[in-house]
Structure 1
Amino acid sequence: MATHVATPGRHRVRRHHAPRTHTPPRRPPSRLAVAAPLFVGVAYGAYASFIARGGGPASFGQLALALISGVVMAALVFGLVRVQNSLMRELRAGAWGVLVGGSLGFLYSLTGHSVLLSSGIGLAIGAATVIATFYVYYTREP
């Protein structure tokens, strides 16, 4: 009976490389993941224009304000929704707090109040958002 004998040959030298990580294929965003930020952006832009108008006639400056603020808000919400699952719950709550507090502080500044009062309102609403979202993430995540 024949036995298996190791034959002499070239030995492979194993080099230490960085481990290869498997990156799952990226799925395209769902309809809701696109529609919700779009709706938030349109509503935010329309409300910013409404506040800036102040009952007077509409102007191109207000239209530009509505378009720019709506597009920026939609992009920020879309970006945060896309990356929020990769963040720790503390950072996720902080990111939502910064987004909500900053956006509502900006809307309050359009009413003509001082920058200090607008910053205080934005800070208070942002802190409340951080607390609320952290509570939700802490109680519902494993």
Structure 2
Amino acid sequence: MSLLSSLLTSTGSFDKLRQGYYDEGSACGFVTECQETKDCMFRVCAPHQDAYGGTFFENCIRACNEDRFMQTLEDYVCKNPQQAWELYGITCEGYKARASKGSFKILGREFTFLQIASAILLMILIYIIIQRI
């Protein structure tokens, strides 16, 4: 490795060419902003990469580049609480989740019309069986 490439690698100059956008493969060197951004990625994004998929991970990396001081997944997804509930099933603090389309809430639980119809059909069948006995 030449002296020039060694200096570029150790100072993080290649990442400065990225205009402040860092990813998990960035060589930070002595750039504290890069290291803080990578810490955010490994703290917030990486533990949930397998659960939510690639697009979620890429968007999370972008969010860490914008705000590298996020601490939890909720800091990222709760910027839009309705979407956090609908896409990921995450309930944000202070947010009352509305029932999604094709369902409604009874006693704090969400039921779909198919579940209600199945329960009613099951009760009718049980009633018919009991009457025949």
Structures share fold, TM-score greater than 0.5: no
TM-score, normalised on structure 1? Answer: 0.28
TM-score, normalised on structure 2? Answer: 0.29
Q: Which has the higher contact order (CA 8 A, sep 6+)?
A: 1
Larger radius of gyration: 1
